[in-house]
Chains A and B, each alone.
Chain A
């Protein structure tokens, strides 16, 4: 199993098509090719954080600055960011558009991802974060734009879940 070059490009192109040029991220395998594109694109402003909760702060700063912004992380990074999501984004009505690579779910061969994969949806529900599974490269650009639009109109965190179907070949 390898990460899909074509579909990573589809996600990246979707981010740009949504008018987003500012990205914060913590690299992980499924996001690798996507982040490489972001790093190589002079139009894109990428900040790699040391821990995902930092990205919530960076996203809030970008929002205050008026800059459309997206966060890229693994689901385990979403867990690490949770207090910032609750006590900055939700507490202050700051929108977050999060693209979350969901590891440890259907078809997961690696034991270390599985606990996180099993609880991800339950945690999103517990936090009242609307989420949607992105599985089809033909739809992902539209789904990114919709996720961003909902985050802005609801002033809330929104999660688009990047699935195995989309990210692996």
Chain B
């Protein structure tokens, strides 16, 4: 199974969700399917996509937050499973594409190669009740639908081939992505009737 096929499968469902993706192949494949203003691409700081997702989900209970992670990134922040389990944001789905490889940096084997380390078992051991591992498009699709119907924190570890896109590039700078993503999130929040809290220092003007 290829990650890009998984992304194609869920794209119609996630295109209106708040999506935080990791760097490299995963980010590019999502972008190539069609960028949306509600997508944030974390092109560095490996491991923190799920932490950003927690910060979003925690303050935006009316939104569904989808984190697209990888085995290499997740291995750099295993503590995130324990933090997610403790605070259990019910509107967060954490998808980890496990290709057993540090693909973007030359394809070195990761600790999950050949099933040595089981990320879904780690997530369950951390206290995340709904953590499943899948290795076929059918099983991935079913797990995704179940997760979206369930009002709870979920982790899906999808075993995928270590392949990525041929070309890389996006038509905006990284801070621009952050600015536009934030604006999009706040416009959506405002549409629910929410008013931003007063910002210290802003009242006094220039």
Contact = CB atoms under 8 A, between A and B. Distances in A.
Interface string A1-18: 000000000000000001
A103 B51 CA distance: 26
Contact of B42 (A51, A88, A93, A155): A88
A45 B55 CA distance: 11
A148 interface: yes
Contacts of A20: 200
Given A54-B77, A87-B45, A88-B45, A64 B40 contact: yes
B201 A66 contact: no
Contact of B178 (A49, A56, A94): A94
Contacts of B87: 47
B48 A47 contact: no
Interface string A124-147: 000000000000000000000100
The interface centre, meaning the residue of B20, B57, B59, B177 with most chain A CB atoms within 10 A of its CB, is B59
Main secondary structure of the interface of B (DSSP, over half): helix
A61 B186 CA distance: 12
Interface residues of B, number: 44
Interface in A22-73: 22, 24, 45, 47-51, 53-69
A58 to B, nearest CB: 4
B45 A67 contact: no
B201 A65 contact: no
A51 B80 CA distance: 8
Interface stretch (B8-16, B133-141, B152-160, B191-199): B191-199
Nearest to B59: A65
Contacts of A67: 59, 197
Contacts of A22: 58-59
Interface residues of A, number: 43
The interface centre, meaning the residue of B51, B86, B197, B202 with most chain A CB atoms within 10 A of its CB, is B51
B79 interface: yes
B59 A57 contact: no
A114 interface: no
Interface in B37-88: 40, 42-45, 47-60, 77, 79-80, 82-83, 86-87
Contacts of B103: none
Interface of A: 18-22, 24, 45, 47-51, 53-69, 83-84, 87-88, 91-94, 145, 148-149, 152-153, 155
12 contacts: A49-B51, A50-B79, A50-B83, A54-B83, A56-B48, A57-B52, A61-B53, A64-B52, A64-B178, A66-B189, A88-B44, A93-B175
